[in-house]
A = this chain, B = another copy of it.
Amino acid sequence: MKKAAFFGMFLCLFGTGTFAQDKEVVEDFKPSSLNQAGQEYPMVNSQGYARFRVIAPEAKSIKASLGLGGRGGTTLTQQADSTWMGTTEGPLDEGFHYYNLTVDGGKFNDPGALNFYGSTRWESGIEIPAHDQDFYALKDVPHGHVQQVLFPSKSTETSRRAFVYTPPGYGNDVNKRYPVLYLQHGWGEDETAWTNQGRANLIMDNLIAEGKIQPFIIVMTYGMTNEIKFGGLRDFDIKPFQTVLVNELIPYVDANFRTIADQPHRAMAGLSMGGMETKMITLNHPEVFSHYALFSGGIYAPEDLKNHPNLRLVFISAGSKENPDRVNTAVEELKEAGYPAVSYVSDKTAHEFLTWRRSLYQLAPLLFQK
Protein backbone atom coordinates (compact mmCIF):
# COMPACT_ATOMS: atom_id res chain seq x y z
CA MET A 1 0.00 0.00 0.00
CA LYS A 2 1.22 3.44 -0.72
CA LYS A 3 2.24 5.54 2.21
CA ALA A 4 -0.58 7.71 3.49
CA ALA A 5 -0.24 11.32 2.36
CA PHE A 6 0.64 13.39 5.34
CA PHE A 7 -2.28 14.99 7.09
CA GLY A 8 -4.38 15.24 3.98
CA MET A 9 -2.43 18.28 2.85
CA PHE A 10 -2.29 16.89 -0.64
CA LEU A 11 -5.02 15.47 -2.77
CA CYS A 12 -3.72 11.94 -2.81
CA LEU A 13 -5.56 9.06 -4.42
CA PHE A 14 -5.41 6.00 -2.25
CA GLY A 15 -6.46 3.51 -4.88
CA THR A 16 -3.85 1.83 -7.03
CA GLY A 17 -6.04 2.20 -10.09
CA THR A 18 -9.25 0.44 -10.95
CA PHE A 19 -8.72 -3.25 -10.51
CA ALA A 20 -9.57 -5.32 -13.52
CA GLN A 21 -11.35 -7.94 -11.49
CA ASP A 22 -11.94 -10.30 -14.36
CA LYS A 23 -8.40 -10.12 -15.66
CA GLU A 24 -6.67 -13.46 -15.99
CA VAL A 25 -3.90 -13.78 -13.41
CA VAL A 26 -0.67 -14.93 -15.06
CA GLU A 27 0.91 -17.71 -13.05
CA ASP A 28 4.50 -16.52 -13.27
CA PHE A 29 4.90 -15.50 -9.64
CA LYS A 30 8.42 -15.07 -8.27
CA PRO A 31 9.70 -14.18 -4.80
CA SER A 32 9.73 -10.43 -4.17
CA SER A 33 13.23 -9.00 -4.35
CA LEU A 34 12.73 -7.69 -0.79
CA ASN A 35 12.17 -11.09 0.80
CA GLN A 36 14.28 -12.33 3.66
CA ALA A 37 17.04 -14.72 2.63
CA GLY A 38 15.64 -17.99 1.35
CA GLN A 39 11.96 -17.01 1.66
CA GLU A 40 9.66 -17.84 -1.24
CA TYR A 41 6.75 -15.62 -0.19
CA PRO A 42 5.50 -12.95 -0.73
CA MET A 43 5.62 -13.33 -4.51
CA VAL A 44 4.87 -10.97 -7.39
CA ASN A 45 3.94 -11.75 -10.99
CA SER A 46 4.66 -10.02 -14.27
CA GLN A 47 1.36 -8.12 -14.09
CA GLY A 48 2.13 -6.63 -10.67
CA TYR A 49 -0.11 -8.87 -8.57
CA ALA A 50 1.17 -9.82 -5.12
CA ARG A 51 0.62 -13.21 -3.52
CA PHE A 52 1.04 -13.86 0.19
CA ARG A 53 1.51 -17.10 2.08
CA VAL A 54 1.66 -17.35 5.84
CA ILE A 55 2.09 -20.32 8.16
CA ALA A 56 -0.18 -20.14 11.21
CA PRO A 57 -2.13 -23.40 11.29
CA GLU A 58 -4.48 -22.49 14.13
CA ALA A 59 -5.31 -18.92 13.08
CA LYS A 60 -8.92 -17.87 12.45
CA SER A 61 -8.31 -15.05 9.98
CA ILE A 62 -5.36 -13.45 8.20
CA LYS A 63 -5.40 -10.38 6.02
CA ALA A 64 -2.62 -8.51 4.20
CA SER A 65 -3.01 -4.74 4.14
CA LEU A 66 -2.12 -4.50 0.45
CA GLY A 67 -4.58 -5.02 -2.33
CA LEU A 68 -7.43 -2.57 -2.60
CA GLY A 69 -5.55 0.56 -1.75
CA GLY A 70 -6.47 2.04 1.58
CA ARG A 71 -9.89 0.44 1.63
CA GLY A 72 -9.53 -3.26 1.88
CA GLY A 73 -6.45 -5.36 1.65
CA THR A 74 -6.26 -9.00 0.70
CA THR A 75 -7.99 -11.72 2.69
CA LEU A 76 -5.96 -14.91 2.95
CA THR A 77 -7.71 -18.26 3.04
CA GLN A 78 -6.52 -21.47 4.64
CA GLN A 79 -5.29 -24.11 2.23
CA ALA A 80 -5.47 -27.89 2.39
CA ASP A 81 -1.93 -27.93 3.78
CA SER A 82 -3.11 -25.52 6.53
CA THR A 83 -1.05 -22.57 5.24
CA TRP A 84 -2.84 -19.31 4.48
CA MET A 85 -2.71 -17.82 1.01
CA GLY A 86 -4.10 -14.85 -0.88
CA THR A 87 -3.50 -12.87 -4.08
CA THR A 88 -4.32 -9.21 -4.60
CA GLU A 89 -7.47 -8.64 -6.65
CA GLY A 90 -5.52 -6.59 -9.14
CA PRO A 91 -2.07 -5.30 -10.00
CA LEU A 92 -0.30 -2.91 -7.67
CA ASP A 93 1.61 0.18 -8.76
CA GLU A 94 5.18 -0.53 -9.79
CA GLY A 95 7.77 0.02 -7.10
CA PHE A 96 7.95 -0.28 -3.33
CA HIS A 97 4.99 -0.81 -0.98
CA TYR A 98 4.71 -1.08 2.78
CA TYR A 99 2.29 -3.60 4.26
CA ASN A 100 1.47 -5.66 7.30
CA LEU A 101 -0.58 -8.71 8.26
CA THR A 102 -3.58 -8.80 10.56
CA VAL A 103 -3.53 -12.20 12.27
CA ASP A 104 -6.55 -12.85 14.49
CA GLY A 105 -6.96 -9.14 15.06
CA GLY A 106 -3.28 -8.42 15.81
CA LYS A 107 -0.93 -6.52 13.52
CA PHE A 108 2.28 -8.40 12.66
CA ASN A 109 4.91 -8.27 9.96
CA ASP A 110 5.15 -10.92 7.29
CA PRO A 111 7.94 -13.31 8.34
CA GLY A 112 8.88 -13.72 4.69
CA ALA A 113 9.60 -10.06 3.95
CA LEU A 114 12.29 -7.61 4.99
CA ASN A 115 11.19 -4.71 7.15
CA PHE A 116 11.31 -1.00 6.37
CA TYR A 117 10.65 1.90 8.70
CA GLY A 118 7.36 3.61 7.79
CA SER A 119 4.22 4.74 9.67
CA THR A 120 6.41 5.09 12.80
CA ARG A 121 7.21 1.38 12.88
CA TRP A 122 9.16 -1.29 11.02
CA GLU A 123 6.79 -2.70 8.40
CA SER A 124 6.99 -5.40 5.78
CA GLY A 125 8.03 -4.30 2.31
CA ILE A 126 7.38 -5.69 -1.16
CA GLU A 127 8.74 -4.61 -4.53
CA ILE A 128 6.76 -4.72 -7.77
CA PRO A 129 9.40 -4.67 -10.52
CA ALA A 130 9.16 -1.39 -12.42
CA HIS A 131 9.70 -1.10 -16.16
CA ASP A 132 12.40 1.50 -15.43
CA GLN A 133 14.01 -0.32 -12.47
CA ASP A 134 17.42 -0.23 -14.11
CA PHE A 135 18.21 3.22 -12.73
CA TYR A 136 18.07 1.99 -9.12
CA ALA A 137 19.43 -1.55 -9.67
CA LEU A 138 22.53 -2.87 -7.93
CA LYS A 139 25.06 -3.05 -10.76
CA ASP A 140 28.69 -3.94 -11.24
CA VAL A 141 29.86 -0.32 -11.00
CA PRO A 142 31.97 1.43 -8.36
CA HIS A 143 29.86 1.95 -5.26
CA GLY A 144 29.82 4.83 -2.83
CA HIS A 145 29.70 4.21 0.90
CA VAL A 146 26.83 4.98 3.27
CA GLN A 147 28.17 6.07 6.64
CA GLN A 148 26.26 5.97 9.88
CA VAL A 149 27.18 9.10 11.81
CA LEU A 150 26.35 9.89 15.45
CA PHE A 151 26.60 13.67 15.72
CA PRO A 152 26.42 15.69 18.93
CA SER A 153 23.23 17.72 19.39
CA LYS A 154 23.23 20.21 22.23
CA SER A 155 19.69 21.38 21.51
CA THR A 156 18.28 17.89 22.03
CA GLU A 157 20.94 16.76 24.51
CA THR A 158 21.82 13.56 22.73
CA SER A 159 23.85 11.99 19.95
CA ARG A 160 21.68 11.96 16.84
CA ARG A 161 22.01 9.63 13.89
CA ALA A 162 22.51 10.56 10.26
CA PHE A 163 23.53 8.60 7.18
CA VAL A 164 26.00 10.12 4.78
CA TYR A 165 26.45 8.89 1.22
CA THR A 166 29.95 9.51 -0.11
CA PRO A 167 30.54 8.92 -3.83
CA PRO A 168 32.81 6.18 -5.21
CA GLY A 169 36.45 7.18 -4.87
CA TYR A 170 35.81 9.45 -1.89
CA GLY A 171 38.36 7.49 0.12
CA ASN A 172 41.09 7.66 -2.53
CA ASP A 173 41.59 11.29 -3.47
CA VAL A 174 41.96 12.98 -0.12
CA ASN A 175 42.11 16.46 -1.65
CA LYS A 176 38.84 16.44 -3.58
CA ARG A 177 35.85 18.25 -2.00
CA TYR A 178 32.15 17.78 -2.78
CA PRO A 179 28.82 19.67 -2.71
CA VAL A 180 26.15 18.31 -0.35
CA LEU A 181 22.45 17.48 -0.66
CA TYR A 182 20.46 17.27 2.59
CA LEU A 183 17.65 14.81 1.84
CA GLN A 184 14.63 14.26 4.09
CA HIS A 185 12.21 11.34 4.50
CA GLY A 186 8.45 11.64 5.04
CA TRP A 187 6.09 11.37 8.00
CA GLY A 188 6.38 8.08 9.88
CA GLU A 189 9.75 7.31 8.32
CA ASP A 190 13.27 7.96 9.52
CA GLU A 191 16.83 8.41 8.35
CA THR A 192 16.98 4.84 7.01
CA ALA A 193 14.26 5.43 4.41
CA TRP A 194 16.18 7.07 1.59
CA THR A 195 18.73 4.27 1.28
CA ASN A 196 16.54 1.27 2.25
CA GLN A 197 13.29 2.13 0.46
CA GLY A 198 14.64 4.86 -1.78
CA ARG A 199 17.87 3.20 -2.94
CA ALA A 200 19.39 6.67 -3.08
CA ASN A 201 22.95 5.28 -2.94
CA LEU A 202 22.39 2.99 -5.92
CA ILE A 203 20.69 5.76 -7.91
CA MET A 204 23.76 7.91 -7.30
CA ASP A 205 26.25 5.12 -8.07
CA ASN A 206 24.54 4.46 -11.41
CA LEU A 207 24.29 8.13 -12.39
CA ILE A 208 27.95 8.67 -11.53
CA ALA A 209 29.04 5.55 -13.45
CA GLU A 210 27.22 6.88 -16.52
CA GLY A 211 28.83 10.30 -16.15
CA LYS A 212 25.45 11.97 -15.89
CA ILE A 213 26.03 13.96 -12.71
CA GLN A 214 28.64 15.82 -10.74
CA PRO A 215 29.33 13.57 -7.74
CA PHE A 216 28.01 14.97 -4.48
CA ILE A 217 27.52 13.90 -0.89
CA ILE A 218 24.01 13.15 0.44
CA VAL A 219 23.14 13.58 4.13
CA MET A 220 20.00 11.98 5.57
CA THR A 221 18.83 12.45 9.13
CA TYR A 222 15.68 12.00 11.16
CA GLY A 223 13.28 14.90 10.57
CA MET A 224 11.62 14.60 13.99
CA THR A 225 8.30 14.21 12.23
CA ASN A 226 7.01 11.02 13.81
CA GLU A 227 5.92 12.55 17.07
CA ILE A 228 3.38 14.70 15.25
CA LYS A 229 -0.08 13.19 15.30
CA PHE A 230 -2.46 13.32 12.40
CA GLY A 231 -4.33 16.59 12.69
CA GLY A 232 -1.55 18.15 14.71
CA LEU A 233 0.02 19.91 11.78
CA ARG A 234 -1.33 23.27 12.84
CA ASP A 235 0.95 23.08 15.84
CA PHE A 236 3.96 22.00 13.83
CA ASP A 237 7.04 23.92 14.86
CA ILE A 238 9.99 23.67 12.48
CA LYS A 239 12.43 25.20 14.93
CA PRO A 240 13.63 22.09 16.80
CA PHE A 241 14.50 20.25 13.60
CA GLN A 242 15.82 23.38 11.91
CA THR A 243 18.18 23.92 14.83
CA VAL A 244 19.43 20.34 14.63
CA LEU A 245 19.92 20.52 10.87
CA VAL A 246 21.35 24.00 10.40
CA ASN A 247 23.20 24.61 13.66
CA GLU A 248 24.36 21.10 14.53
CA LEU A 249 24.39 18.65 11.63
CA ILE A 250 25.70 20.92 8.87
CA PRO A 251 28.68 22.08 10.96
CA TYR A 252 29.41 18.45 11.89
CA VAL A 253 29.30 17.33 8.26
CA ASP A 254 31.47 20.24 7.14
CA ALA A 255 34.01 19.39 9.85
CA ASN A 256 34.11 15.63 9.26
CA PHE A 257 33.64 15.31 5.50
CA ARG A 258 35.40 16.96 2.59
CA THR A 259 32.54 19.27 1.64
CA ILE A 260 32.50 22.54 -0.27
CA ALA A 261 31.06 24.37 2.69
CA ASP A 262 29.18 27.26 1.15
CA GLN A 263 25.67 28.15 0.03
CA PRO A 264 26.15 27.56 -3.71
CA HIS A 265 27.19 23.97 -2.99
CA ARG A 266 24.42 23.04 -0.56
CA ALA A 267 20.98 21.72 -1.55
CA MET A 268 17.95 20.55 0.43
CA ALA A 269 15.21 18.18 -0.71
CA GLY A 270 12.47 16.22 1.01
CA LEU A 271 9.56 13.92 0.29
CA SER A 272 6.03 14.50 1.60
CA MET A 273 6.35 15.98 5.09
CA GLY A 274 10.11 16.22 4.46
CA GLY A 275 9.15 18.51 1.58
CA MET A 276 7.23 20.72 3.96
CA GLU A 277 10.30 20.86 6.19
CA THR A 278 12.49 21.62 3.20
CA LYS A 279 10.22 24.49 2.20
CA MET A 280 10.17 26.00 5.69
CA ILE A 281 13.91 25.68 6.27
CA THR A 282 15.00 26.91 2.84
CA LEU A 283 12.68 29.92 3.15
CA ASN A 284 14.14 30.68 6.58
CA HIS A 285 17.74 30.14 5.47
CA PRO A 286 18.44 31.32 1.91
CA GLU A 287 22.03 31.93 3.02
CA VAL A 288 22.50 28.20 3.70
CA PHE A 289 20.98 26.47 0.64
CA SER A 290 20.93 27.30 -3.06
CA HIS A 291 18.91 24.39 -4.51
CA TYR A 292 15.44 23.51 -3.14
CA ALA A 293 13.43 20.39 -4.04
CA LEU A 294 9.99 19.18 -2.93
CA PHE A 295 8.93 15.61 -3.81
CA SER A 296 5.16 15.18 -3.25
CA GLY A 297 5.64 17.81 -0.62
CA GLY A 298 3.97 21.07 -1.58
CA ILE A 299 5.01 23.96 -3.80
CA TYR A 300 6.71 27.34 -3.69
CA ALA A 301 4.80 30.42 -4.85
CA PRO A 302 6.75 33.22 -6.57
CA GLU A 303 6.21 35.54 -3.59
CA ASP A 304 7.86 32.98 -1.29
CA LEU A 305 11.15 33.43 -3.11
CA LYS A 306 11.45 37.18 -3.49
CA ASN A 307 14.27 37.48 -0.96
CA HIS A 308 16.29 34.61 -2.43
CA PRO A 309 18.71 36.32 -4.82
CA ASN A 310 21.18 33.43 -4.76
CA LEU A 311 18.67 30.71 -5.50
CA ARG A 312 19.98 28.32 -8.17
CA LEU A 313 17.16 25.81 -8.60
CA VAL A 314 13.62 25.00 -7.49
CA PHE A 315 12.49 21.44 -8.27
CA ILE A 316 8.91 20.33 -7.61
CA SER A 317 7.58 16.84 -8.31
CA ALA A 318 4.70 14.48 -7.62
CA GLY A 319 3.22 11.22 -8.86
CA SER A 320 0.70 11.37 -11.69
CA LYS A 321 -1.87 9.86 -9.32
CA GLU A 322 -1.37 12.68 -6.83
CA ASN A 323 -2.01 16.22 -8.06
CA PRO A 324 0.29 16.77 -11.04
CA ASP A 325 -1.60 19.87 -12.21
CA ARG A 326 -0.76 21.68 -9.02
CA VAL A 327 2.94 20.91 -9.52
CA ASN A 328 2.95 21.91 -13.18
CA THR A 329 1.00 25.13 -12.56
CA ALA A 330 3.24 26.14 -9.68
CA VAL A 331 6.38 25.66 -11.77
CA GLU A 332 4.88 27.60 -14.69
CA GLU A 333 4.16 30.50 -12.36
CA LEU A 334 7.69 30.37 -10.94
CA LYS A 335 9.20 30.36 -14.41
CA GLU A 336 7.03 33.28 -15.51
CA ALA A 337 8.26 35.18 -12.47
CA GLY A 338 11.83 34.47 -13.59
CA TYR A 339 12.79 31.71 -11.18
CA PRO A 340 14.88 28.68 -12.23
CA ALA A 341 12.12 26.13 -11.66
CA VAL A 342 11.72 22.58 -12.93
CA SER A 343 8.73 20.24 -12.56
CA TYR A 344 8.57 16.47 -12.76
CA VAL A 345 5.58 14.14 -12.74
CA SER A 346 6.17 10.43 -12.16
CA ASP A 347 4.00 8.40 -14.51
CA LYS A 348 1.36 6.09 -13.00
CA THR A 349 2.55 6.38 -9.43
CA ALA A 350 1.00 7.88 -6.34
CA HIS A 351 2.30 9.02 -2.93
CA GLU A 352 4.90 6.29 -2.80
CA PHE A 353 8.58 5.56 -3.15
CA LEU A 354 8.82 4.98 -6.89
CA THR A 355 7.68 8.60 -7.29
CA TRP A 356 10.53 9.67 -5.04
CA ARG A 357 13.24 7.41 -6.47
CA ARG A 358 12.40 8.86 -9.87
CA SER A 359 12.33 12.37 -8.44
CA LEU A 360 15.85 11.98 -7.07
CA TYR A 361 16.99 10.53 -10.39
CA GLN A 362 15.57 13.58 -12.20
CA LEU A 363 16.88 16.07 -9.67
CA ALA A 364 20.48 14.85 -9.34
CA PRO A 365 21.71 15.92 -12.81
CA LEU A 366 20.34 19.42 -12.20
CA LEU A 367 22.24 19.99 -8.98
CA PHE A 368 25.47 21.97 -8.66
CA GLN A 369 25.83 22.72 -12.35
CA LYS A 370 28.33 25.45 -13.22
Q: Hey, what's the 0/1 contact readout for A78-122 against B, CB within 8 Å counting as 1?
A: 000000000000000000000000011111110100110000111
In the A-B complex, list the 10 residue pairs whose CB atoms are closest, starting with the nearest: A56-B106, A143-B150, A58-B104, A57-B105, A171-B256, A59-B104, A174-B174, A108-B108, A146-B148, A145-B147
Q: A143-B150, A145-B147 are in contact. Are A171 and B257 (CB under 8 A)?
A: yes
Cβ-closest chain B residue relative to A162: B145
Inter-subunit contact A108/B111 (CB<8 Å) = yes
Kindly list chain B residues whose C-beta atoms are within 8 Å of the C-beta of A140: 152, 159
A148 partner, pick from B36, B60, B145, beta carbons under 8 A: B145
CA separation between A268 and B145, bound complex, in Å? Answer: 23
Are B226 and A37 touching (Cβ within 8 A)?
Answer: yes
B60→A106 contact, CB < 8 A? no
Is B122 a contact partner of A56 (Cβ separation < 8 A)?
no
B residues near A150, Cβ cutoff 8 Å: 138, 143
Q: Interface residues, chain A, CB within 8 Å of chain B?
A: 36-38, 54-61, 103-109, 111, 114-115, 120-122, 138, 140, 143, 145-152, 159, 164, 171-172, 174, 195, 201, 226, 255-258
Chain B residue with the shortest CB-CB distance to A170: B256
Residues of B within 8 A of A61 (CB): 58
CB pair B138–A103 under 8 Å, yes or no, is no
A261 CB → nearest B CB, Å:
13
**Beta-carbon contact of A103 and B103 below 8 Å:** yes
Residue of chain B at shortest CB distance from A56: B106
Known: A103-B103, A138-B150. 9 other contacts (CB 8 A): A37-B226, A56-B106, A59-B105, A106-B111, A107-B111, A109-B109, A143-B159, A147-B147, A171-B258
